[in-house]
Amino acid sequence: MGKKIGFVGLGIMGKPMAINLLKADYELVVYDIVKENIDALVSSGATEGASCKNVAEQSDVVITMLPNSPHVKEVVFGNEGLSEGFKKHTIYIDMSSIDPMVSIEISDKLKEQHVAMLDAPVSGGEPKAIDGSLAIMVGGPSDAFEQVKPILDVMGASVTLIGKVGSGNIAKLSNQIMVAANIAGMSEAMVLAKKAGVDPKKVYEAVRGGLAGSTVLDAKMPKILDRDFKPGFRIELHIKDLGNVVDAAHKLGSPALLSSLIIEMMENLRSKGKQGDDHSGLIQFYEDLSQTIVR
């Protein structure tokens, strides 16, 4: 597989992922709707693409990292979109977290152009995007996966081919259900401790080595104790992911009770202007109800 990679979507996640590819000596052509983001990559050694179409015309592999399903469809099939510039046998990797049914729809259309698609959403947030240790969950044809796995390995510490196109996003949505439920449970527990006059930090230290211990607990509880809700992963993005969970669950006839409940908690915080907080800020929902602050 050639080393010429197109990268569209240079936001909080895409930018550090693209920089890591440059550090690994891949040749990058980049595009974003925010010129400042493009300039940051060009200063690191990338080439600026004139449009999504132009990026695809110059690339053997194209990666997108975008907010949601409509953005991906627009970038691929919109005016001057990637599909207008894809060469035959290009491999397209969508690393956005979107509705898995949309991934399948896009893949089916691109097959007509002899373009193989992988859906490869990630978990780990901005810190792991920066240090190249993301968990990458991939759906798509195994031959395309094997060709681009060295590229994915640059951005992730764990790269797993799960199954056909769409299965990457099913895995990501599953991940987002578990992360959200973990944060909600942690929030409920720590507010209970605080209301009882027990030091939440001591409770955290006591439970983290037992069955309740988790990567989520260790990543998010220190932020809560420091009242640091600077986003690694914004509440509004978790609302988006859980919305995709509910949409997919309804189409598949699968229950999504916890996801629906946590969406309502997060929407309450959005109504108070806290949608840009890290998703660990979900604890503020419980704090508002209990009139107490965990610190």
Given the residues 15, 53, 128, 172, the one annotated as active site: 172
Written as one string, the DSSP assignment of the chain is --SEEEEE--STTHHHHHHHHHHTT-EEEEE-SSHHHHHHHHTTTPEEPSSHHHHHHT-SEEEE--SSHHHHHHHHHSTT-GGGTPPTT-EEEE-S---HHHHHHHHHHHHTTT-EEEE--EESHHHHHHHT-EEEEEES-HHHHHHHHHHHHHHEEEEEEEESTTHHHHHHHHHHHHHHHHHHHHHHHHHHHHHTT--HHHHHHHHTTSTT--HHHHHHHHHHHTT----SSBHHHHHHHHHHHHHHHHHHT---HHHHHHHHHHHHHHHTT-TTSBGGGGHHHHHHHHT----
The two structure tokens encoding residue 17: 């992922």
Rounded CA gap, 35 and 106, in Å? 27
- 194 catalytic per annotation: no
Catalytic residue annotation? 172
